[in-house]
């Protein structure tokens, strides 16, 4: 896989063919993406339509989840080690410095808000295990675990 400024491509090294995974579309210029740990799925967010896309890279089938319209942008995707969850960050329309944290369950495609809008710049630093996310507060050097189940 590789990307240009506006599209993502998949290269088949056996026959040297290339296919488009995310097309260059006028309505999909601003997106965030991340591959699952076992490389079977690609998750990407299109901010123009506030949708999260979950694409099976083997079949090409894709689920599209409409995100909370109270947020103006989403990004910073991170898959859990077992590929059952994706955590991502949202920015509110009221203040681009207010960040919230969201969780998608890949099994049932449900989305929940883990943390409400906060004036701290909280970003995911990675997963500690399948139910614990380590959060990092930008600029402070502090990190804290966040548990969910």
Give 33-60 pLDDT, tens digit per residue.
888 988 789 898 887 788 888 989 888 8
Residue 143's DSSP bridge partners are 136
Residue 51 tokens read as: 């949708």
- Enter the pTM of the model: 0.76
Share of the chain above pLDDT 90, in %: 14
The Cα 147–Cα 149 span in angstroms is 7
Q: How confident is the model at residue 24 (pLDDT cuts 50, 70, 90)?
A: low
């Amino acid at each position: 896989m590789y990307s240009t400024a506006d599209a993502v491509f998949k290269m088949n090294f056996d026959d040297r063919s290339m296919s488009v995974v995310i097309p260059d579309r006028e309505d999909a210029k601003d997106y965030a993406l991340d591959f699952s740990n076992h490389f079977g799925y690609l998750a990407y967010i299109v901010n123009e339509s506030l949708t999260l896309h979950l694409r099976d890279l083997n079949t090409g089938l894709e689920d599209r989840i409409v995100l909370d319209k109270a947020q103006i942008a989403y990004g910073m995707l991170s898959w859990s080690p077992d590929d059952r969850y994706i955590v991502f960050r949202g920015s509110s329309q009221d203040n681009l410095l207010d960040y919230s944290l969201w969780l998608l369950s890949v099994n049932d495609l449900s989305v929940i808000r883990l943390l409400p809008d906060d004036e701290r710049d909280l970003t995911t630093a990675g997963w500690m295990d399948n139910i614990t996310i380590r959060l990092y507060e930008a600029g402070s050097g502090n990190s804290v675990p966040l548990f969910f189940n």
